[in-house]
Amino acid sequence: MITVAIGIFLVVLSLLPGFKFYEGRLGTRQVLPPIEPAWIGRLVILMAGLAAILDGIWQIHRGGH
């Protein structure tokens, strides 16, 4: 059951809006475009969450912990 909860948490985490990082030196007022993180990290988190959910469901179906 814990595995399913962790999997759901990871899926929700991967679907949250992305953070934007503003590149530039500290203390300057230079405006630069935001840099969004790569989508591959979100995909990896999503796949790990889905694997955890499926593993948890399989363990529950087998009668495991």
The per-residue pLDDT for 55 is 94
Query: Which carries the bigger pLDDT value, residue 53 or residue 33?
Result: 53
Whether the pLDDT of residue 53 is over 90: the answer is yes
The per-residue pLDDT for 56 is 92
- What DSSP line would sit under the chain, residue for residue? -HHHHHHHHHHHHHHSPPP-EE-S-TT------EEPPPHHHHHHHHHHHHHHHHHHHHHHHHT--
pLDDT digit string (tens) for 5-48?
Answer: 999 998 888 888 765 555 555 556 666 665 556 677 788 889 99
